[in-house]
């Protein structure tokens, strides 16, 4: 069986490398008749106390020979500043509902230790707490998104945490923050009221959780300059009943948003999720089918929200998404460390296109997770650091942040494997404040280049340039020995043809074009 699988993979890679220059065609129309904005918060990130995401990722040993501020690793900070991450979610995840914020303030040597029962059973010394996280966000120039403990915490604990970071009064709690080195309030506005309350956050029913949310939210107070954006713990994947109950039971003025969690699991089997680096074309195809399910989920959950909130006051916040594979061989299974291939870049581009195209309702998201965990932007090995293919997608797509959404109509050829088919191409487009139009295109077909003829309605432009991310094989990765094997390159496959745009989109690639 092992030999057969290896042979299948070799034949698949050979077929990809020797793919003919066959071309199929797609038709795309982009119009300039929308007033919607692609929220920058769609490009948010997630950092949980899990594996080497915080400890050994953002927060390193004092002796490590890298540039640091306190123990915050600055080469990572610089890389994330470059892609303009707008928000960072912390401390979890499942960890959030066992985290007690008072353990993570005051002199580091006096902070109590705890065992991370969710992820690997490791001992945490709480040296990375509220002040360290908010200092990290300041260095990243991003907004903090903090998840309150509803599962094992209390209303009082959450209320005092908000007061600690946001109040400028002379209360005991606010004075404690000042004594701990931050005289001014942090003014944190994004707050999650629990996490995955249907599962690790308490195994609640939606009826019970909706009552708990209203109770907790009632004591989540606004302080001057910090009106709270309260985000309810939303559904797991296709649990449409959860969304129905939450929207029915919680008035829209109580919550800024409701979360959605969905992971692309290559096999669809949580017991054996599949390899991050070794897979056949049929396995790749199945993975992309599961990735594209995100569009169905967002559409159906949005339709339920529309019943109770037709004016779309409440945001859908996809604050955990990405590919989830088996861990790398030899690593702690509780640390969720996985490699990141060209396939994962196509998954990232596809999901971001889906979110952009649903920006009327999707106004926030968070990739899981930023460093060394799941579909990471960055991997580290002691002082070494590399940028994954997924990082480069966020670099390409940053042009869409807070830009005007441009509606699209796409007729795509099919990508067919084993008699099954899916649309080969997916696209999103926006126009920034200076009038430049950006179009992001993903070709999921491993073999065929696709020629896309694009009509641009009420859009004036003269020149086009772009960037592309691709590689010889869909299984290619960046390693510490070859950190730049997959990297952005200039794209020359687009041209003006009269008033139309013609693009030759290479197989297994992501391209972002700029028209001006």
Contact 60, 73 (CB under 8 A): yes
Instruction: Indicate whether 438 and 369 sit together in one domain.
Output: no
Same domain, 97 and 204: yes
* Alpha carbon 452 to its chain's center: 28
Q: What is the reported pLDDT for 11?
A: 43
pLDDT of residue 5: 46
Task: Summarize the chain as % helix, strand, coil (round to 5).
Answer: 30, 30, 40
Q: What is the DSSP string of 323-339?
A: E--PPPTTS-GGG----
Work out whether strand 72-73 and strand 68-69 pair parallel, antiparallel, or are unpaired. Answer: antiparallel
Report the alpha-carbon angle 428-433-439, nearest 5. Answer: 20
**Are 86 and 100 in a shared domain?**
yes
Q: Tell me if 191 sits within 8 A of 148, measured CB to CB.
A: yes
Asked if residue 95 lies in contact with residue 50, where contact means CB atoms within 8 angstroms, the answer is yes
Question: For residue 10, is it within any domain?
Answer: no
In a domain, 12, yes or no: no
Show which of 377, 401, 425 is a domain's final residue.
401
Note whether 394 and 377 are within 8 A (CB). Answer: yes
347 & 297 share domain: yes
At residue 176, the pLDDT reads: 98
Rg (CA), the chain: 23
Using CA of residue 281, residue 282, residue 287, residue 293, what is the dihedral sign? Answer: positive
Note the pTM of the prediction, 2 decimals. Answer: 0.94
Instruction: Compute mean pLDDT per 10 residues along the chain, 516 residues long, and list them.
Output: 45 43 85 96 98 98 97 98 98 97 97 94 96 98 98 98 97 97 98 98 98 98 98 98 98 96 98 97 98 98 98 98 97 97 98 98 98 98 98 98 98 97 98 98 98 96 97 98 98 96 98 98
Residue 41 tokens read as 């918060």
What are the beta bridge partners of residue 442?
Answer: 426, 510
Q: How far is CA 93 from the centre of its chain?
A: 13
> Residue 316 and residue 81: Cα distance in Å, rounded?
25
**Total number of domains in the chain:** 2
* Domain final residue pick, 350, 369, 401: 401
Is 13 domain-assigned? no
Pairwise CA distance, residues 164 & 182, whole Å: 10
Whether 7 maps to a domain, the answer reads no
Provide the token pair at 429. 């487009």
Do residue 56 and residue 120 come from a single domain? yes
Residues 444 and 306 in one domain: no
Residues involved in catalysis: 196, 320
CATH number for the domain harbouring residue 348: 3.20.20.80
| One domain for residues 306 and 229 | yes
359 lies in which domain range? 40-401
Same domain, 392 and 439: no
DSSP lists the bridge partners of residue 143 as 87
Per-residue pLDDT at 22: 59
- Residues 191, 98, single domain; the answer is yes
Residue 5 lies in a domain: no
């Amino acid at each position: 069986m092992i030999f057969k699988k290896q042979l299948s993979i070799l034949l698949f890679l050979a077929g990809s490398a020797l793919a003919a220059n066959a071309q199929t065609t797609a038709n795309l129309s982009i119009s300039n008749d929308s007033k919607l904005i692609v929220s920058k918060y769609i490009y948010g990130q997630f950092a949980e106390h899990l594996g080497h995401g915080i400890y050994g990722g953002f927060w390193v040993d004092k002796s490590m020979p890298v540039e640091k501020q306190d123990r915050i690793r600055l080469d990572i900070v610089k890389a994330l500043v470059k892609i303009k991450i707008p928000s960072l979610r912390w401390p979890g995840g499942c960890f959030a509902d066992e985290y007690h914020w008072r353990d993570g303030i005051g002199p580091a040597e006096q902070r109590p230790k705890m065992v991370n029962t969710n992820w690997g059973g490791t001992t945490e010394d709480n040296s990375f707490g509220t002040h360290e996280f908010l200092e990290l966000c300041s260095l990243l120039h991003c907004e903090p998104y903090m998840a309150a403990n509803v599962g094992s915490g209390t209303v009082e604990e959450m209320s005092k945490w908000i007061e600690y970071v946001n109040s400028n009064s002379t209360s005991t709690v606010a004075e404690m923050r000042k004594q701990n080195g931050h005289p001014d309030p942090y003014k944190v506005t994004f707050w999650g009221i629990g996490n995955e309350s249907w599962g690790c956050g308490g195994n609640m029913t939606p009826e019970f959780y909706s009552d708990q949310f209203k109770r907790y939210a009632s004591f989540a107070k606004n302080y001057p300059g910090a009106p709270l954006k309260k985000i309810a713990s939303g559904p797991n994947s296709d649990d449409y009943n959860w969304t129905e109950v939450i929207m029915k039971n919680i008035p829209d003025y109580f919550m800024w948003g409701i979360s959605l969690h969905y992971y692309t699991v290559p096999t669809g089997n949580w017991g054996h999720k599949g390899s991050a680096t070794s897979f056949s074309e049929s396995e790749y195809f199945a993975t992309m089918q599961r990735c594209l399910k995100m569009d169905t989920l967002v559409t159906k959950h949005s339709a339920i929200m529309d019943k109770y909130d037709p004016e779309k006051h409440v945001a859908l916040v996809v604050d955990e998404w990405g590919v989830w594979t088996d861990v790398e061989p030899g690593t702690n299974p509780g640390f969720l460390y996985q490699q990141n291939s060209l396939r994962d870049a196509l998954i990232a581009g596809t999901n971001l296109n889906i979110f952009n195209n649903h920006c009327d309702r999707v106004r926030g998201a968070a990739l899981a997770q930023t460093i060394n965990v799941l579909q990471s932007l960055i991997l580290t090995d002691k002082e070494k650091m590399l940028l994954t293919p997924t990082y480069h997608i966020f670099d390409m797509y940053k042009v869409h942040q807070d830009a005007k959404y441009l509606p699209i109509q796409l007729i795509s050829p099919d990508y067919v494997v084993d008699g099954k088919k899916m649309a080969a191409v997916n696209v999103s487009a926006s126009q920034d404040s200076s009038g430049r139009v950006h179009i992001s295109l993903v070709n999921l077909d491993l073999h065929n280049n696709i020629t896309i003829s694009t009509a641009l309605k009420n859009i004036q432009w003269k020149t086009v340039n772009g960037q592309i991310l691709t590689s010889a094989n869909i299984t290619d990765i960046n390693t510490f020995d070859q950190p730049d094997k997959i990297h952005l390159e200039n794209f020359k496959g687009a041209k003006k043809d009269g008033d139309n745009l013609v693009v030759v989109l290479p197989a297994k690639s992501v391209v972002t074009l700029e028209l001006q």
